[in-house]
């Protein structure tokens, strides 16, 4: 079993200084064959000339398992990976040139690993590391970048070598503020006992009486069935309310002879999509009740995407048109459309939108921008007496494209894009 070497640890760690934010940021990339010799020299400098520092480095470079950080063309840091499983990345070694430390180089390399883990599997691949518990330098790095020490392991031929297993958390979890204690790093027996329960983990590195100590925290255990049941019921209630509002607008559109036919068709499509989202949410509740498979997340994603892009957004786009038909104040309706567009821009960039739960691309940004401008565009076309069907057709195409992207080109919703500290203390 590979471990992250930690040659630079001492019995009395000083508080870790903040990275120098004024220094230029390093870039990261996959190591190439021409990097092998500089990498060997860097590994020897990091590990004090240890002969084992470069063992297997050539094979790792050839296999595309080494990431390097460079600044002004010079290699200043590296990380060696392993991929024991398609969804699992193991950090086996990480190092930064002595003169380039405290500049966020190691954190930049870890960020690249996290991004690769998310790209491997949209639900979030596993990133782990195994290290000597006494390695306070690597412990401080991992713990400050969202890793938790979740269990201890016995390795070696006789099983006497103790190792601490670190895992990066991809979900937000909550710590009980009244259930934390400190364990000296040197007291390995107490460390093993403290994190033996599945709800306990190492969360931070501290100094206790001048000696390094681990903070052990107890995490609250949620009931997934109750949380999923609440989510399904909330989806049903929300889609039901949206469907009632859309149905009212559909009735009004047929009562008005001046209502554009293309907007009527848009509302009819929104009625269909919202009704389907209700059926899907009900299916999610049934899936949860049967507990036959782990498909709840995928089912809820279908309901959420159809509800937002098939129901809510078409409904909001049609509101300025409805205002113009009711009041006759066309240019006031334009102002209303502009206000709705501004609100949609804010919403699309907020943490509450569907788009925020997935990685942004140039295509999704362009589609989101067009969707946000749709309320203004539609009502301006109506105010100028121009046919609105080209704009409405383009809007339908944009919403359909976003629906296809998030349903078929993305995995289940991840919900978190922030890598740092994905645990927090319950207030």
Taking the C-alpha atoms of residue 127 and residue 176, their distance in angstroms, rounded to an integer, is 24
Residue 163 has pLDDT above 90, yes or no: yes
Residue 46 has pLDDT above 70, yes or no: yes
Residue 279 has pLDDT above 60, yes or no: yes
Considering Cα of 179, then 231, then 417, then 61, what sign does the dihedral take?
positive
Taking the C-alpha atoms of residue 295 and residue 169, their distance in angstroms, rounded to an integer, is 22
What's 355's DSSP letter? G
Report the range of poorest mean pLDDT among 140-144, 249-253, 377-381: 377-381
- The pLDDT value recorded for residue 221 is 72
How does the average pLDDT of the chain come out, rounded? 82
- In terms of Cα–Cα distance, which of 57, 59, 71 is closest to 29? 71
Residue 193 has pLDDT above 90, yes or no: yes
Residue 394 has pLDDT above 80, yes or no: yes
Average pLDDT over residues 64-82: 92
Q: Of 43-57, 190-204, 369-383, which one has max mean pLDDT? A: 190-204
Phi, psi torsion values for 222, nearest 5 degrees: -85, 155
Give the predicted TM-score (pTM) of the model. 0.61
Q: Which residues of 63-92 are buried (b: 16+ CB within 10 A; e: fewer)?
A: eebbbbbbbeeebbbbbbbbeeeeeebbbb
Residue 219 has pLDDT above 70, yes or no: yes
Residue 101 has pLDDT above 70, yes or no: yes
What's 409's DSSP letter? S
- In terms of Cα–Cα distance, which of 179, 222, 186 is closest to 201? 179
Average pLDDT over residues 260-286: 87
- The pLDDT value recorded for residue 334 is 85
Residue-wise pLDDT tens digits, 228-255: 777 788 888 999 999 999 999 888 888 8
In order, the DSSP letters of 58-100 are HHHHHTT-EEEEEETTEEEEEEEEEEEETTEEEEEEEEE-GGG
CB atoms near residue 384 (< 10 Å): 10
Residue 268 has pLDDT above 60, yes or no: yes
pLDDT category of residue 344 using cuts at 50, 70 and 90: very high
CB atoms near residue 158 (< 10 Å): 7
Tokens of 142: 């991992």
Residue 12 has pLDDT above 80, yes or no: no
Report the range of poorest mean pLDDT among 8-12, 72-76, 140-144, 403-407: 8-12
- The pLDDT value recorded for residue 52 is 61
Taking the C-alpha atoms of residue 201 and residue 142, their distance in angstroms, rounded to an integer, is 13
Report the range of poorest mean pLDDT among 148-157, 308-317, 380-389: 380-389
Residue-wise pLDDT tens digits, 103-126: 889 999 999 988 888 765 545 578
Average pLDDT over residues 58-69: 92
* 203 neighbors 178 (Cβ within 8 angstroms): no
pLDDT category of residue 21 using cuts at 50, 70 and 90: low
Cβ contacts of 353-360, under 8 Å, gap ≥ 24 = 353/308, 354/304, 354/305, 354/308, 354/309, 354/406, 354/413, 355/402, 355/406, 356/417, 357/413, 357/414, 357/415, 358/122, 358/406, 358/410, 358/413, 358/414, 359/118, 359/119, 359/417
- The pLDDT value recorded for residue 22 is 59
């Amino acid at each position: 079993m590979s471990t992250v070497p930690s040659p630079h640890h001492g019995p009395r760690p000083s508080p870790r200084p903040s990275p120098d934010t004024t220094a230029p940021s390093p870039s990261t990339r996959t190591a190439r064959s021409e990097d092998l010799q500089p990498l060997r020299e860097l590994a020897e400098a990091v590990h004090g000339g240890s002969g084992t520092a470069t063992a297997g480095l050539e094979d790792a470079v050839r296999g595309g398992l080494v990431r390097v950080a460079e600044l002004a063309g010079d290699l200043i840091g590296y990380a060696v990976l392993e991929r024991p499983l398609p969804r699992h990345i193991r950090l086996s070694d990480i190092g930064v040139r002595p003169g380039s430390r405290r500049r966020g180089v190691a954190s930049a390399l870890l960020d690249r690993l996290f991004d690769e883990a998310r790209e491997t599997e949209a639900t979030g691949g596993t990133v782990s590391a195994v290290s000597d518990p006494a390695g306070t330098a690597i412990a401080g790095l991992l713990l400050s970048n969202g890793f938790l020490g979740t269990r201890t392991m016995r390795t070696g031929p006789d099983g006497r070598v103790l190792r601490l297993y670190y895992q990066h958390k991809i979900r937000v979890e909550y710590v009980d503020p009244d259930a934390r204690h400190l364990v000296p790093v040197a007291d390995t027996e107490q460390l093993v006992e403290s994190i033996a329960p599945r709800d306990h983990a190492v969360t931070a590195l501290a100094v206790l009486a001048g000696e390094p100590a681990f903070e052990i925290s107890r995490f609250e255990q949620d009931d997934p069935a109750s949380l999923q049941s609440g989510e399904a019921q909330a989806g049903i209630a929300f889609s039901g309310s949206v469907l009632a509002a859309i149905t009212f607008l559909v009735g009004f559109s047929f009562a008005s002879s001046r209502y554009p036919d293309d907007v009527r068709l848009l509302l009819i499509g929104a009625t269909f999509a919202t009704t389907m989202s209700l059926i899907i949410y009900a299916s999610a509740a049934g899936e949860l009740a049967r507990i036959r498979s782990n498909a709840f997340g995928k089912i809820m994603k279908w309901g959420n995407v159809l509800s937002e892009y098939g129901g809510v957004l078409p409904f909001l786009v049609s509101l300025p048109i409805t205002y113009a038909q009711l009041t006759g104040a066309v240019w006031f309706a334009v102002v209303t459309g502009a206000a709705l567009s501004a609100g949609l821009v804010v919403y699309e960039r907020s943490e509450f939108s569907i788009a925020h739960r997935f990685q942004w691309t140039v295509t999704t940004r362009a589609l989101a921008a067009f969707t946000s401008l749709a309320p203004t565009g539609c009502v301006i076309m109506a105010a100028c007496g121009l046919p609105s069907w080209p704009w409405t057709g383009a809007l339908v195409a944009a919403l359909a494209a976003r629906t296809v992207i998030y349903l078929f080109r993305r995995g289940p919703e991840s919900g978190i894009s922030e890598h740092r500290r994905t645990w927090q203390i319950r207030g």
